[in-house]
Amino acid sequence: MSLARSGGSNRAAGNERVHVILQLDESAGAVADSLLSAYDARITRRFARLNARALELPAHIVEALAARREVRFLSLDRETIPAGHVSHTTGADAVQDSGGANAGRLDGSGIGIAIVDSGIDTDHRSFLNRNNNVRVVAARDFTGEGRTDDPYGHGTHVASTAAGNGRIANAEYVGIAPNANLINLRVLDSHGRGRTSGLLAALDWALANRATYNIRVVNLSLGAPAIDSYRDDPICQAVRRLTEAGVVVVAAAGNNGKNADGQKIYGMIHSPGNSPYAITVGASNTFGTDARGDDGVATYSSRGPTRSSWVDADGVRRYDSLIKPDLVAPGNKLIYAEALDNYLVTQNPALDAGVSPVPNRKMMYMNGTSMATPVVAGAAALLLQARPRLSPNMVKMLLMYTAQPLANFNMLEQGVGQLNLEGAMRLAEDVRPGLSATTAVGAPLLKTNTPPAPQTTIAGHSFAWSQGLIMGRTFATGESLITKYQKIYAAGIVFGDGIVFGDGIVFGDGIVFGDGIVFGDSTIFSDGIVFGDHALTSNGGTLADGTPFLPLDSLFGDGIVFGDGIVFGDGIVFGDGIVFGDSTLAGDAVTQAQSAATNGDQTAAMPFAADDGLDNVDY
């Protein structure tokens, strides 16, 4: 696959040298390095567990190298840059007060969360455990700057959202898993930039060291435009390897939900959030309240479908067109740890929240899907502490099935809805132990014959669970999703696998729905599951409730006109103000931290509380 056909650029010529990521065929073996030497390629990084290399090589031989049978895919080494009272409104506090088997003890203890970001300020009081030891148990730099602190300021805020303790301001800004261990993998430099090769090196390191540090969750609050299909994108391939190894990967959707004119944009999910293996998180806005009745999707949060693509054997460009994000979580104006003298606050002093004048107790505001992502990462850590044998797909199911659909937002904006950790934990506690890839389809999933009530009450507001899952280009609903074991819950399976369309063809590249009927392969799914044929706009009830927004067979086409006048076409603005974004850009893209200005969102923050300078240890 050439760079030109994969969405990159091969316009460089002459003696110019370019930086690329080479993914090798599994059979390439020892011939790879001698092959590269013959092409005057210099290996700048090796990713042993990913069967890939970062190379610098002459631009004029890129096409020839890409054509070799040993080469699976070749892509540019693209640049990367960063993208209410959260513990209460997400249901984390309710987990501790539930009276269930895990009440009062779930804090992430023993679980490792890898924060792949701009570093962590380990001097901040937010990262101590109850014995006053720092919970950042490992730190590596992949930027070349030779430091693992956080001069940019993004990673410290992200880390404390996932796992900050409650010492400051009487636990008003406690993270979701406040005693989890943190693994600091620095891939963004002092100005928040990095490259694909650095990110790959960090993920390769996490894969190699996951057992040493019990890395069960990887947080990716960063991304780049999703150009290559998730089947080829090297970062998406690394995400796949991690999930197959039992690691939950949580990725930001991106902050491209509207254009400069304030119009909605669809189709701008970032990589690796376009991966079906990742739990992709959009940002909701709690408007500064704990009650969830007024919550909505933040206007800047990127919408699906995914527009990463590949070129088939006939030269036709095909789009992945997956429904994303998977769910949303609070991400608007969150107050969490502020790294010492960081770039973001230096350039924008108003980001300091005024909580404390003491350097290692300061807190700052941030917005974006970067902030929503670690909320979900912390939630995953708590589920894994309670049920260590849960597979990544089981964690994904628990979070999606129990989420709250937000009224008046469609599936391409919110996935299944907003995170509800109280419900996810209550359902997790009922999951039968001993499930594995060999468990028969349709075997009992729960250790009880009575499923938990599919409703949660937080801050006096009761809401129904979504009771459904996003399944690639469709969605599934039905109580059988939680009462019967489904093969999609095993490691190494994509949620879209086993979906069969009306023409009898199993879900695959470029397949059209045919007559629009969707059903499940009985070797993958049990009976009692219903698949949708339209993306819906929620009425605030279950996932299956609501009104049709878009026929799902449309996701297989490009430039198709539908009855309501909406057109799928890159960069086209429609009469209703919707824009489908172009993800087929050439040249270097930027991977960025997914933080954002609110630009039109009501900017009420988490409830403010000043710090009295005394450590609170009752959290």
pLDDT of 397 reads 98
Q: What is the pLDDT of residues 552-608, one digit of tens each?
A: 877 765 543 333 333 333 433 333 444 444 433 333 344 567 776 655 565 556 666
Neighbours of 461 (CB within 10 A): 16
Q: pLDDT confidence of 280, banded at 50, 70, 90? A: very high
Q: Hey, what's the torsion of the CAs at 62, 67, 71, 76, to 10 degrees?
A: 30
Mean pLDDT of the residues in the chain = 85
Distance separating alpha carbons of residues 71 and 433, to the nearest angstrom:
42
pLDDT at 513 over 80: no
Would you say residue 587 lies in a domain?
A: no
Q: How far, in Å, CA of 347 to CA of 592, rounded?
A: 17
Q: In Å, how far are 6, 25, 88, 242, 509 from 309, measured between CA atoms?
A: 8, 20, 39, 22, 10
The C-alpha atoms of residue 103 and residue 589 are separated, in whole angstroms, by 45
- Beta pairing, strands 518-520 & 17-24: unpaired
Residues 229 and 117 in one domain: yes
CA distance 619 to 616: 7
Is the preceding omega at residue 276 within 30 degrees of 0, hence cis? no
Q: Where are the beta strands (DSSP E) in 371-509?
A: 455-458, 461-464, 468-471, 474-477, 499-501
* Phi, psi angle pair for 180, to nearest 5°: -70, 150
* Amino acid making up residue 440: A
Percent over 90 (pLDDT), the chain: 57
- Please compute, for residue 272, the number of CA atoms within 13 A of its CA located in the half-sphere on the CB side: 31
Residue 307, domain member (yes or no) = yes
Q: Could you tell me if 70 and 109 lie in one domain?
A: no
The residue among 612 and 338 whose pLDDT is bigger is 338
Total number of domains in the chain? 2
Residue 157 and residue 278 in one domain? yes
The better pLDDT of the pair 478, 29 is held by 478
CA-CA distance, 292 to 529, in Å (whole number)?
29
Residue 506 banded pLDDT, cuts 50, 70, 90: very low
Judged against a pLDDT cut of 50, whether residue 73 lies above it is answered with: yes
Is there a domain that residue 281 lies in?
yes
Distance, in Å, from the CA atom of 73 to the CA atom of 613, rounded to the nearest integer, reads 54
CATH number of the structural domain spanning residue 67: 3.30.70.80
Q: What pLDDT is attached to residue 96? A: 66
Look at residue 235 and tell me whether its pLDDT is greater than 90: yes
User: Tell me, what's the pLDDT at 217?
Assistant: 98
pLDDT of residue 11: 42
Is the same domain home to 100 and 29?
no
Give me the pLDDT at residue 7, please: 42
Residue 593 lies in a domain: no
The pair of structure tokens assigned to 597 is 């200005």
Taking only the tens place, the pLDDT of each residue in 419-451 is 999 999 999 999 999 898 899 999 999 999 999
496 in a domain, yes or no?
no
- Model confidence band, residue 278 (pLDDT cutoffs 50, 70, 90): very high
Where is average pLDDT lowest: 28-32, 271-275, 383-387?
28-32
Better-predicted residue by pLDDT, 514 or 208? 208
pLDDT band at 4 (very low <50, low <70, confident <90, very high): very low
Which of 394 and 587 is assigned the larger pLDDT?
Answer: 394
**Residue 252: which of 166, 175, 367 has the closest Cα?**
367
Claim to verify: residue 189 and residue 50 sit in the same structural domain: no
Which pLDDT value is given to residue 605? Answer: 61
- pTM for the model stands at 0.87
Same domain, yes or no, for 126 and 68?
no
Contact 150, 156 (CB under 8 A): yes
Q: What is the mean pLDDT of residues 63-81?
A: 82
Of 303, 311, 327, 234, which Cα lies nearest the Cα of 275? 234
Last residue of a domain, one of 55, 77, 99: 77
Among 49-53, 62-66, 304-308, 559-563, top mean pLDDT goes to: 304-308
* DSSP strand pairing (461-464 vs 455-458): antiparallel
Q: What angle do CA 309, 313, 317 make, to 5 degrees?
A: 30
The residue behind tokens 């290399």 is 53
Average of per-residue pLDDT across 527-550: 92
Torsion over CA of 467, 468, 469 and 470, rounded to 10 degrees?
-130
For residues 168 and 601, the model is more confident at 168
272 shares its domain with 387: yes
Would you say residue 212 lies in a domain? yes
Helical spans, DSSP H, in 47-91: 62-66, 86-89
Final residue before a domain boundary, out of 422, 450, 475: 422
CA–CA gap between residue 372 and residue 595 (Å, rounded): 10
Instruction: Give the per-residue pLDDT at 104.
Output: 59
Domain shared by 219 and 142, yes or no? yes
Q: What is the CATH number of the domain that holds 151?
A: 3.40.50.200
CA dist., res. 96 & res. 107, Å (int): 9
Q: Is the distance from CB of 143 to CB of 173 less than 8 angstroms?
A: no
- 595/619 Cα distance (integer angstroms): 28
Domain-located, residue 590: no
Is position 68 within any domain? yes
Same domain? 148 vs 263: yes
Distance CA 451, CA 577 (A): 43
Check whether residue 61 and residue 96 sit in a common domain.
no
Q: Are residues 94 and 38 in the same domain?
A: no
Where b means 16+ CB within 10 Å and e means fewer, 278-310 reads bbbbbbbbbbbbbebeebbbbbbbbbbbbbbbb
Each residue's pLDDT tens digit, 200-209: 999 999 999 9
Question: Do 340 and 318 fall into the same domain?
Answer: yes
Over residues 98-107, the mean pLDDT reads 66
Domain region containing 358: 86-422
**Which of 77, 104, 121 is the C-terminal boundary of a domain?**
77
